[in-house]
């Protein structure tokens, strides 16, 4: 049987013409191999969501800077002033920004991955793009947003260095835990997005429900409060949360206030292997059929 993987990529000149592609007939291994061969498409496909999202705005690219500053700094100051949670001896804003960095690496990847087949459905119907690349492509704009979170965190550290005369940034080999935590958070985000992005290609109710899932998930992740403040029952739930280890790694690496335990790390790695591996298989086999089954539906309402 001839599949889309046996055919060369569509030339740019004919990209507007529909291509008869029969996805979902190959093994996961071959899908991964095709993903690697077509890796040059990754940034090109990924950047499209940012262009669409900023189209028609007055501030344009400045929204990439303004939005995270307002949301992170504003929320951190407000929540810290009202709730006054413990922060392990560092200013609460710095504490919250450290946790939010690890959380955003997961949440932004999962968020854009879930909406990926909505954003890219015209491309996937007209030009061959590896199915696995679509949920992962949202990581491009997620990387920009996470980078802004890093800039905001370091900006806050600089401000408090001047105000308190103390640099709360941890300097030393343990600093490497922070980027490792971000990478692990991205892997968890991809693991979720393979499932939610594929299911959302079939029914867009998924992205609406997933907003609430992410909100609840945030409150059972130690971003706004230290892990040590959880009572027994919630601590047990947190032990099964695959995002806890990445968030704690980021806080430990940058600020020296995280709690990195082998058990939590094993939960995260197991989640990536089991949920991510099965999700990649599900995406490779089912997503293209879901996209093709909705051909002509909502084409003028391309959501982003």
169 CA to centre of own chain: 25
What's the pLDDT at 187? 96
**Per-state percent for the chain, helix, strand, coil, to nearest 5:** 70, 0, 30
Q: What is the pTM of this model?
A: 0.81
Residue closest to 186 by CA, chosen among 110, 70, 106: 106
pLDDT at 275 over 90: yes
Three state DSSP letters for 137-194: HCHHHHHHHHHHHHHHHHHHHHHHHHHHCCCCCCCCHHHHHHHHHHHHHHHHHHHHHH
124 CA to centre of own chain: 21
CA pair distance 24, 31, nearest whole angstrom: 9
From the number of C-beta atoms within 10 Å of its C-beta (0-12, 13-18, 19+), residue 300 rates as exposed
pLDDT at 134 over 90: no
Task: Say which residue, 276 or 67, is predicted with more confidence.
Answer: 276
What's the pLDDT at 203? 83
Handedness of CA 114, 68, 180, 40 (dihedral sign): positive
What's the pLDDT at 246? 96
Report yes or no: 200 and 114 within 8 Å, Cβ to Cβ: yes
What's the pLDDT at 300? 40
93-109 mean pLDDT:
92
Q: What backbone torsions phi and psi does residue 288 show, to the nearest 5 degrees?
A: -60, -40
Q: What backbone torsions phi and psi does residue 299 show, to the nearest 5 degrees?
A: -65, -25
pLDDT at 19 over 50: no
What's the pLDDT at 293? 66
What's the pLDDT at 154? 93
What's the pLDDT at 102? 93
pLDDT at 80 over 90: no
> Model confidence over 203-258: pLDDT tens digits?
888 989 999 999 999 888 988 888 878 777 777 777 889 999 999 999 999 999 88
162-174 mean pLDDT:
90
């Amino acid at each position: 049987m001839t599949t889309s993987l046996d055919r060369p990529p569509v030339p740019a000149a004919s990209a507007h013409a529909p291509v008869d592609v029969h996805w979902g007939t190959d093994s996961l291994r071959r899908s991964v191999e095709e993903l690697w061969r077509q890796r040059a498409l990754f940034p090109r496909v990924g950047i499209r969501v940012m262009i669409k999202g900023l189209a028609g705005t007055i501030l344009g690219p400045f929204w990439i800077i303004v939005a995270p500053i307002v949301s992170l700094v504003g929320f951190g100051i407000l929540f810290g002033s009202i709730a006054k949670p413990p922060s392990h001896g560092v200013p609460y804003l710095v504490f919250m920004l450290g946790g939010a960095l690890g959380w955003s690496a997961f949440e932004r990847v999962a968020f854009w991955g879930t909406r990926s087949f909505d954003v890219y459905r015209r491309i996937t119907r007209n030009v061959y793009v590896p199915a696995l690349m679509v949920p992962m492509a949202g990581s491009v704009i997620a990387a920009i947003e996470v980078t802004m979170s890093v800039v905001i965190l370091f900006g806050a550290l600089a401000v408090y260095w001047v105000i308190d005369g103390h640099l709360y940034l941890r300097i030393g080999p343990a600093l490497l835990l922070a980027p490792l935590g971000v990478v692990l958070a991205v892997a968890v985000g991809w693991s979720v997005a393979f499932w939610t992005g594929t299911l959302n290609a079939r029914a867009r109710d998924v992205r609406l429900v997933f907003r609430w899932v992410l909100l609840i998930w945030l409150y059972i992740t130690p971003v706004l409060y230290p892990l040590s403040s959880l009572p027994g029952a919630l601590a047990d739930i947190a032990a099964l949360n695959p995002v806890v280890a990445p968030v704690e790694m980021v806080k430990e690496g940058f600020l020296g206030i995280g709690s990195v335990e082998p058990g939590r790390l094993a939960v995260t790695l197991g989640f990536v292997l089991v949920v991510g591996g099965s999700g990649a298989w599900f995406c490779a086999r089912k997503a293209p059929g879901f996209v093709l089954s909705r051909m002509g539906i909502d084409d003028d309402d391309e959501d982003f």
